[in-house]
Amino acid sequence: MTRATILIPAHDEAEVIGRTLWYLSRGLPLDQVRVVVIANGCTDATAARARAALPQAVVIETDRAGKCHALNLGYEAAATGAPVVCLDADLDVTAEAVAALIAPLAEGRALAACGQMDVDTSGVSPAVRVFYQGWRTNPYFARGKFGGLFALSPEGAARVFPLPEITADDEFIRRSFAPTEIAFVAGCRFVARAPRTLASLVRVRRRSLRGAREVARMGKASPERGSGRTMILRALGAPANLWPVAVFLGVSVWVRVSLMRDRTGAAPRWERDLTTRVEG
């Protein structure tokens, strides 16, 4: 019996897909978990490296680039009646973390589940490191990080799939559920690597904000309000956080202003961080 399907959309991820699958496959019961890698619009050896790293994985190739399209293709190959786990191709997560993530779904306690993201800031610029020190104080993370890695029950997946062609797929899915329908699994932790330069960080934040605004225009408002004010008030009580919070909010304002200055919407739809795409 298949306990879950793990969908991994991958666009030109030859440098990191092997590392991701290596972390994931240690202790993973491959007779019970289906891993589906969707190599979309790749111009490198993503598919070949995925097959080499995990021969048991189902590897789907499509010439059409796009994360939502890739996830839709993967969902078509998912096991019927089992939870679906969505995992970005550049994250480190263990089989134990995935098992913890799907537990509340298998028990019928939630329609979606998320864990906690740890950000690796080794090798980044000082400004990026300070930004993430402030980022960690955001009250949003008290309920985990719904992005990069999350799981959906069969009923939850049926609610959101097929996904529309949007930038912020994670945010679209998160806002498709009430907070009470999402379980935060503290025992599920995964690692993301921070952009190494401030310029790359800004590109990623621009994409994130642009995507969130697109989702809001679809009528899916964010349940969070006033997190910046809360961060400032908390920092006043913990002076060591004042500078990191100021940097975090400063970058956030910079990103908003830069989007306002986009004249024709000609900015790239997918502003990607390439500084962390190093062989691993």
Helix intervals (H) in 77-152? 95-106, 126-135
CB-CB neighbours of 148 under 10 Å: 18
Amino acid 226: pLDDT: 73
* Separation of alpha carbons 145 and 174, rounded Å: 10
Q: What is the pLDDT of residue 271?
A: 67
On whether the CB atoms of residues 247 and 138 are closer than 8 A, the answer is no
> Does residue 268 surpass a pLDDT of 50?
no
State phi, psi for 158 to the nearest 5 degrees.
-65, -25
Tokens in use for 26? 């240690």
30-82: pLDDT as tens digits: 999 999 999 999 999 999 999 999 999 999 999 999 999 999 999 999 999 99
Average pLDDT of the segment spanning 227-242: 89
Higher pLDDT, 276 or 13: 13
Q: What is the per-residue DSSP string for 19-63?
A: HHHHHHHTT--TTTEEEEEEEES-SSSHHHHHHHH-TTSEEEEES
Q: Please give the helix or strand (H or E) that residue 172 lies within, else none.
A: helix 169-174
Does the pLDDT value for residue 8 go beyond 60? yes
Give the closest residue to 31 by CA, choosing from 53, 54, 1, 7.
1
233 compared with 20, residue with greater pLDDT:
20
Above 90 in pLDDT, residue 248?
A: yes
The pLDDT score that the predictor gives to residue 40 is 98
Can you list the alpha helix ranges (DSSP code H) found in 194-274?
198-217, 227-237, 242-260
Element (H, E) at 156: helix 154-160
Residues contacting residue 217 through CB under 8 Å, at least 6 positions apart:
none
Mean pLDDT throughout 112-124?
97
Tokens of 11: 């666009």
Is the pLDDT at 265 greater than 60, yes or no?
no
pLDDT of residue 263 exceeding 70, the answer is no
Q: What is the pLDDT of residue 229?
A: 87
The predicted structure's pLDDT at residue 270 = 56
At residue 255, φ and ψ (nearest 5 deg) are -65, -45
- What whole-number distance in Å separates Cα of residue 147 and Cα of residue 130? 21
Residue 137 pLDDT: 93
pLDDT tens for 119-142 read 999 999 999 999 999 999 999 888
> Is residue 189 very low, low, confident or very high in pLDDT (cuts 50, 70, 90)?
very high
